[in-house]
Homo-oligomer: A and B are copies of this chain.
């Protein structure tokens, strides 16, 4: 432990908000948004029902805030990993692998993001979901830069490639999560997806 800083004085407030988010993460992963009970989130967070409404406007807002929080963390971590390598192909592999690794590390987050994100039209249509936009643009940017640098084929629009890549890795993560993490090795699958995507599934003719 380090010396206590001023920010230790009122950890309660920030702490409580985090505890509620953590609890919501688990409960939404367990039951899904609609089936989840606010009372259960409160109980697991160790706060009263009403306390949740001191930090979040509504159950909807709680889910949205959870998205924002986790996507922000995800984006930061991916950005970091991806920034450590140079070529576009490498970046793509690192991206896929890191996404899988983070999902493996936080299976509840993966479950919520993967399932609830698509969830109801309510969130997909009425809520802009800016962090997911950032996420997709980050991936599209990698592809676009690689195309401009001549590293990647430009026969496919960067955003389409990014969407498809996300869909592919996300589906793998979903299958892994729903299988309880025991059906296959998600990290290896991510590598295999990277290889397939970059070098192609079709066997090259020519010896």
Contacts and interface: CB of A to CB of B under 8 A. Distances in A.
Nearest to A175: B163
Categorize the interface residue count of chain A: 35 or more
Contacts of A111: 121
Contacts of A151: 202-203
Interface stretch (A12-20, A29-37, A42-50): A29-37
A12 to B, nearest CB: 17
> What number of copies of this chain does the assembly contain?
4
Interface of A is mostly: helix
Contact of A171 (B150, B153, B170, B193): B170
B171 A31 contact: no
Contact of A193 (B32, B92, B160): B160
A173 B189 CA distance: 23
Contacts of A125: 178
Contacts of A156: 192-193, 195-196, 201
A153 B200 CA distance: 8
A35 B122 contact: yes
A198 interface: yes
A152 interface: yes
A29 B120 CA distance: 9
